Amino acid sequence: MKKLLTTILFSCSFIIYSQDTITKVGFAYNIEGLNPKSLVEEVEGKSQTEMFNTGVNWIKETYKNPDEVIKTTIDSSKVRFEGYQADVFCINSLGTMFCYGATYTIEVSFKEGRFKFEPISLSYRAPASQYSAGSTVSIDFESGEVWYKKSGNVKGMYKRYPKAIEDLLNSLYDSLSSYYDKVDSGEDQ
């Protein structure tokens, strides 16, 4: 009986502790737009130049044509890049699922021991069809109202959009953050 009680108490404390430590920092998109507007990651013991070089190396390893992806660099303090991800925005229209790729621009700023990851723009191209004219749709980071009903619920056709925005931006941020961890631990060196 003592063993059973000890096991139950241990399991409960482990579950409670686990729930407290799983708070994930990341982007969220809702009717109010993108929150937060940027994320800052601390990386101890790195100079601004080391932070910048590691960030640029991540771009070089992540993208097929990094010289085309990098739009600007500023004296070891910033890099702005543009990328494309296929099948990010999916809508169910007239019983058919249509998915569109996303083009995004991200700016990463570097200071000693930290970097700031800031989405600048996000858009997708909806091709012309018999039901609509083709257009480029820009995602507004300041307000998500266009995707929501007055009741505050996501419009049915666009119900996947907020999560798609979050998933894309968080996966990019997580990839960059993991790259710094990998470099710090000496992997692939």
pLDDT at position 15: 38
Selection from 6-20, 122-136, 142-156 with the highest mean pLDDT: 142-156
pLDDT at position 94: 78
Of the candidates 171, 181, 180, which has an alpha carbon nearest to the alpha carbon of residue 27? 171
pLDDT at position 182: 87
Q: Where are the alpha helices (DSSP H) in 88-160?
A: none
Task: Determine the Cα–Cα distance for residues 110 and 80; give it in Å rounded to an integer.
Answer: 11
pLDDT at position 10: 41
Mode of pairing for the β-strands spanning 114-126 and 39-42? antiparallel
Task: Determine the Cα–Cα distance for residues 88 and 36; give it in Å rounded to an integer.
Answer: 21
> pLDDT tens digits, residue range 83-140?
999 999 998 877 888 899 999 999 999 999 999 999 999 999 988 877 778 899 999 9
For tokens 């890099």, the residue is 79
Q: How confident is the model at residue 166 (pLDDT cuts 50, 70, 90)?
A: very high
